Amino acid sequence: MTTWLEQQAAVRERRGLTRTPGVRGPRDGMVDLAGNDYLGLATDPRLAEVAGEAADRWGTGATSSRLVAGTTELHMELEHELAGLVGADAALVFSSGYLANLGIITSLGGPGTLIVADEHCHASMIDGFRLSRSETATFRHNDASHAGSLLQGRTQPRALVVVESIYSVGGDAAPLDDLLGLAEEHDAVLLVDDAHGLGVAGSDAFSGRGSIAGTALAGHPNVVVTATLSKALGSQGGVVLGSALVREHLVNRSRSFIFDTALAPPAAAAALAAVGIIRKEPWRAAAVHRNAARLAAHLELEPTAGAVQTLRMPSAEAAVAASRAAAVAGVRVGCFRPPSVPDGTSRLRLTSHAGLTPDHLDHACAVLRHILEETP
């Protein structure tokens, strides 16, 4: 085993794919275009205050699984408020968004289920497909017509169409209305991961409430939504939103819910506070879009549906070198290369936040333009 591990390390080093955790200071002065704290709530004192109060009352950890002794009134109130925010009948909170995706896919999947998934689905979804042992077919990115052809003539009694509302790498939006039509036509469940939409997307009347609220998908019996509480909500955890029947099924069948320690009460309290802020301060979501548009214009990129922009790089090595050069210049960017993305599609991912000022964005764009000019 040691020899094999050494060989694997050598291959990664040779291909420029070796990873190390990026360490950031609490407030290190960097212009942050890498993190997912879209609304700036992770450092909001209001969240810190309620988290501290929850720790004093309930302790720093949940102490057990939700079904044993880990559920508090905070968890129940958070689920109620999240369902109301998104427009779902019910919600079930998990300890991470990753586990929420595993939980819903493995609980609805299995023998007798056909999964039809967008080729750009997140790794947590792909792992759910594998663990569910469902037959899985992949459709071309955002091609609802191709998805429909895969559903035609299926032999399985159940079908699950799986997409992200706003894709985590490209930042583009799924054709949700078309996909809902397919789900209705083929009696399928449309599973939408709104991790990068919740807190950011939404029409004027539903600003920040995500990609589903106020649309035909909200409360629809064929629609299930997942999201994370660790991005725009500035906390930790994940959630599945759908009908009361889906929630009851998960409580009884989802291994990533049943056998996992519950979300820590301080994190639940912080997420609950964040839901209230999203409702009361829609200017935060508007600021994200304004900053994303400014970033796109300065770097001559196509505007995207949410906070995510990407700069394609010629190679994995070039992407790594560019991210390091940006960090030296005081700008933190995301670096995506294989195996996170397919060979030949390495890129820098830029995420806009509500708290970025015009000076921040001008500096970041100047740094990135210089790096791109120097990249062979």
**Chain segment 347-358, per-residue pLDDT in tens:** 999 999 999 999
Q: How many CB atoms lie within 10 A of CB 341?
A: 18
pLDDT tens digits, 279-304: 999 999 999 999 999 999 999 999 99
Tokens linked to 325: 């050069």
Q: Spell out the long-range contacts of 302-306 with Cβ–Cβ below 8 A and sequence spacing 24 or more.
A: 304/166, 304/170, 304/171, 304/172, 304/173, 305/166, 305/171, 305/172, 305/173, 305/197, 305/201, 306/166, 306/171, 306/173, 306/196, 306/197, 306/200, 306/201
Tokens linked to 286: 């508007």
Of the pLDDT bands very low, low, confident and very high (cuts 50, 70, 90), residue 21 is confident
Q: How far apart are CA 255 and CA 253, in angstroms?
A: 6
Of the pLDDT bands very low, low, confident and very high (cuts 50, 70, 90), residue 25 is low
Q: How far apart are CA 183 and CA 223, in angstroms?
A: 8
Of the pLDDT bands very low, low, confident and very high (cuts 50, 70, 90), residue 189 is very high
Is pLDDT above 70 for 314?
yes
pTM reported for the whole predicted model: 0.93
- Helix then strand count (H, E) for the chain reads 13, 11
